[in-house]
Homo-oligomer: A and B are copies of this chain.
């Protein structure tokens, strides 16, 4: 039996149980710096890296094919993980409060980034266009920091026009 997952627009409120949205519209603190030439939208997200370092990496992602099967989730218990698109290309975020609960699928557009809170169950990156480029801010350190779980039955993402 197929289980279909609908895709919601991303918003800071809807994503709050899972982490933070990194976008100008989500800013709670804005102030001028550098003699008024720059506005800082402060601390949209907070990184965590237990027993390790916060590192900045790049991801070059290929488009996923639709309909797309959500057959597994993963989580990083020792650290947060942020993805920020560098090319304004849309992508999909799938998160769940528990592997046995129905996941949420969010469509990120217009350069919106997200930060998964440590321990948040999520699907690996779902790019919609080839050569999508993301900045990653996450943990580098010793020991296992990735739990994976299979979803049975799977969920299916449908109805996306990758554009």
Contact = CB atoms under 8 A, between A and B. Distances in A.
Contact of A40 (B27, B58, B84, B127): B58
Interface stretch (A3-11, A44-52, A149-157): A44-52
Contact of A38 (B22, B44, B125): B125
A96 interface: no
A62 B56 CA distance: 25
Contacts of A70: none
B59 A41 contact: yes
A137 interface: yes
Interface in A13-28: 22-24, 27
A53 interface: yes
Interface residues of A, number: 44
A125 B40 CA distance: 11
Given A47-B47, A56-B115, A84 B135 contact: yes
A46 B40 contact: no
A90 to B, nearest CB: 15
Interface in A94-131: 111, 113, 115, 124-125, 127
Nearest to A39: B60
Contacts of A24: 58, 60
9 contacts: A24-B60, A33-B124, A38-B127, A39-B61, A40-B136, A48-B53, A54-B54, A56-B84, A84-B135
